[in-house]
Every structure is written in C-alpha cells, then in structure tokens.
Amino acid sequence: PLATTRSMEFLKFRELPAGQNAIVAIAVYSGYNLEDSVVMNQSSIDRGLFRSLFYRSYTDQEKRVGMQVVEQFEKPMRSDTVRLKHGTYDKLDEDGIINPGVRVSGEDIIIGKTAPIAPDAEELGQRTKYHNKRDVSTPLRSTESGIVDQVLVTTNAEGLRFVKVRMRTTKVPQIGDKFASRHGQKGTIGITYRQEDMPFTREGVVPDLIINPHAIPSRMTIAHLIECQLSKVSALKGFEGDATPFTDVTVDSVSALLREHGYQSRGFEVMYNG
C-alpha cells in the first residue's frame, strides 16, 4: 500500500501483502452506495480488479478389512456396480482419478472408487447376479465449478493408496460481495457501472469504487481520511507515505504537499457525471 506503517515491517507485510490499491471516490452517486454499500467500476473488474483464486482439496483413500484391501480406485462400470451417483463419470481416467487441467462443474465425479458387496446383501433390490461392487466415489460439490489444479497419488502410513485432488476456481467480484478498507469500513457491492457511466475528474481519472460519505462521521474513522490524503500525495510524488500513528506527520503537512501538486488541500475534486 501507499500508506505504510512501521508495524507492517514486523508483520512481514511486504512478503505477504493483502488487498489491492484502488482509486476510491467518497461521493453519493445514484444512491446505490447508501447504507454501507459501494458502487464498483465494472470495467475495472473486467480488467482484473479484486479477482481471486479459490482452492479446495478433495481426498480419499482405500480401506482395509483385516489383511485384505477392500476398496479400489477405478472407473466404475454400470454393468457390475450398483448405487452409481448422478454426476458424469466420463471425465475420469482409466485408473479412476481425474486428470489435471480438466474443467469440471457441479456433481461431476473426480475420484472414482468401488467397494465389494457382501454376497448376501440385497442393496435395496438394485442388485442382479452380475453386480458385485458398490460405488463410493467422490463428487465435486454441487454448487462449485472450476479446473482440476493438481492431483497427488501416494500411499499413507498403512501402505494403502491415497489420492488428493486440488480444485481451482476463479472468483470475480459481483453484487453482494463484501469489501473493506484497513479501518474496518466494510461494505457490499450495491451496483456495478461501466467506466462510461462512472463520474470522472478534470484529469479524466475514473474511480474503481465509490463509497458513501455517510459512512465516515458517525464512525469517526478520521485516520481513514488522513490515510486517503496521504496515499494521494504518495501517488503524485512516487514515494510511500508513513501512516504510523503518533509520529510528526500532520494533516497540515500532508495538505501542504497536496497543494504543491495543484490540488485542493483537503483532497476535494470536482467530478463530472458519467
């Protein structure tokens, strides 16, 4: 971030940062940012603003009864297996495990596995004399979709085969997603406007998001405003600002720097309707 603190150095924030720098306007625009919501620039989202990757791992292993391995990773066949699941088994490889890079969606089977049926089991009347296995495969969660990122096949402590499949999903900001500044000013997206529908300054700068001014006075997050001001100076000068509390950085000193660069000392700018 442009406004840094000394505690960031101790928290190793440069090695593992969090969040992104956005161009923020504090304004009422269309009323879709009332009550702690934000108006976000759809064009910025399309360019990759606040886009993130989400990983989820699915694991499974063979079971053993006594000395005998009873479960087996394989692609279940309808001819000899009962209790098959709804999802498609077509994406599995011959060994019953999906390949990396395959695109999958809700309830697709990603790890195929079968267990033997006891000779006297009825299996709810689904069983015929040819059926000797039961399906115990792992499907993808019904609400998710994505790409298989990595597949690991290994053995566990007991020497049984163990499979781990990691899924990768790209999450794109949409209405209802929650965002927050570093001052606990949290809000959800109320609406997204394309760049041509957003307001712009005299230099043609279009904000990435617009927060509501009513979120500031009652919460008294004054440091938030000073940090915004300092970040604006930092962006103009090309240096990082020091936002550590109880230092001799004052609002007046930041305002003077802002005035040097030809801006209003408190950071106000006229914006034109998009």
Model pLDDT for residues 202-253, shown as the tens digit of each residue: 999 999 999 999 999 999 999 999 999 999 999 999 999 999 999 999 999 9
Q: Are residues 215 and 148 in the same domain?
A: no
Q: Are residues 115 and 143 in the same domain?
A: yes
Is 137 a residue whose pLDDT tops 90? Answer: yes
Residue 246, Cβ density class (10 Å: 0-12 exposed, 13-18 middle, ≥19 buried): exposed
Is residue 126 very low, low, confident or very high in pLDDT (cuts 50, 70, 90)? low
Percentage of residues of the chain with pLDDT beyond 90: 84
The mean pLDDT of 54-75, rounded to a whole number, is 89
Q: Are residues 139 and 96 in the same domain?
A: yes
CA distance to 65, 131, 204, 219, 238, per residue, from 243 (Å): 62, 70, 28, 19, 16
Domain final residue pick, 130, 148, 171:
171
Please report where in the chains the tokens 């405003």 appear, as a residue: 225
The enclosing domain of 138 has a CATH number of 2.40.50.150
Number of domains present in the structure of the chain? 2
Q: Are residues 145 and 84 in the same domain?
A: yes
Q: How far apart are CA 255 and CA 267, in angstroms?
A: 8
pLDDT at 65: 77
pLDDT at 244: 93
The radius of gyration of the chain from alpha carbons, rounded to an integer in Å, stands at 28
Q: How far apart are CA 239 and CA 72, in angstroms?
A: 60
Percentage of residues of the chain with pLDDT beyond 70: 97
Model confidence pLDDT, tens digit, residues 32-51: 999 999 999 999 999 999 99
Domain final residue pick, 171, 193, 208:
171
Is 67 a residue whose pLDDT tops 90? Answer: no
Question: Which tokens sit at 156?
Answer: 């566990």
Question: Is pTM, for the whole model, over 0.75?
Answer: yes
**Which strand (E) or helix (H) includes residue 222?**
helix 222-237
Q: Are residues 12 and 79 in the same domain?
A: no
Domain final residue pick, 171, 194, 229:
171
Is residue 22 very low, low, confident or very high in pLDDT (cuts 50, 70, 90)? very high
The enclosing domain of 212 has a CATH number of 2.40.270.10
pLDDT at 11: 95
Between residues 268 and 1, the one the model is more confident about: 268
Range of the domain at 116: 53-171
Is 121 a residue whose pLDDT tops 90? Answer: no
Residue 195, Cβ density class (10 Å: 0-12 exposed, 13-18 middle, ≥19 buried): middle
Q: Looking at residue 215, what DSSP letter applies?
A: G
pLDDT at 124: 63
Q: Are residues 59 and 167 in the same domain?
A: yes
Q: Are residues 154 and 131 in the same domain?
A: yes
Is residue 159 very low, low, confident or very high in pLDDT (cuts 50, 70, 90)? confident
**Annotated catalytic sites, by residue?**
36
Q: Are residues 41 and 61 in the same domain?
A: no
Is residue 127 very low, low, confident or very high in pLDDT (cuts 50, 70, 90)? low
Is 129 a residue whose pLDDT tops 80? Answer: no
Q: Are residues 59 and 141 in the same domain?
A: yes
Q: Are residues 179 and 92 in the same domain?
A: no
Q: Are residues 66 and 33 in the same domain?
A: no
**Mean pLDDT over all residues of the chain?**
93
Q: Are residues 64 and 106 in the same domain?
A: yes
